[in-house]
Amino acid sequence: MAKKVKKLTQVLLRQDVKGFGQRGEVKQAAAGYARNFLFPKKVAVEATPHILAQLKVASERKVTKAAGAKADAQRVADSLAGKTVTIRAKAGEKGKLFGSISARDLVGAIKDQLGVMLDAKALDLPEPIKQLGKHEVKVKLAPDVSGTVAIQIVSTKG
């Protein structure tokens, strides 16, 4: 008795398919499954040589773009290294600020004094600064690139 051999079709998933694969993956699917489920629901397309070539080019472009973004982030981290940003604020006798310095305040001061544009979410500032003095603030610029900027809070006269 001869055993039936399943015909397989190579497909590119356009959406996540539970129990089968993630969007963007190239998978082997049973011909019937592809023809009767994946293709009609438009969750996959047949992985032709042309589509595979486009996928390869897009993947290479993504890698190049990520490398460029990492290099830019490293340049920003290097430009922040060893620099001190001074912020003037009103404070009491014991150095406690009247108010606080938030991440948005820091981003504005960094932009004004160092000319570096940052997102407030990039700053690792668990709570606003409420004391005079020097503070080190970590900056996360990319998944594997971070830096530190020194913040000097000084009292205003008056």
pTM over 0.95: no
Residue pLDDT, tens place only, 22-34: 998 999 999 999 9
Residue pLDDT, tens place only, 15-67: 999 999 999 899 999 999 999 999 999 999 999 999 999 999 999 999 999 88
Domains detected in the chain: 8-72 (3.40.5.10), 76-155 (3.10.430.100)
**What separation in angstroms does the CA of 12 have from each of 5, 15, 42, 43, 56?**
22, 9, 11, 9, 12
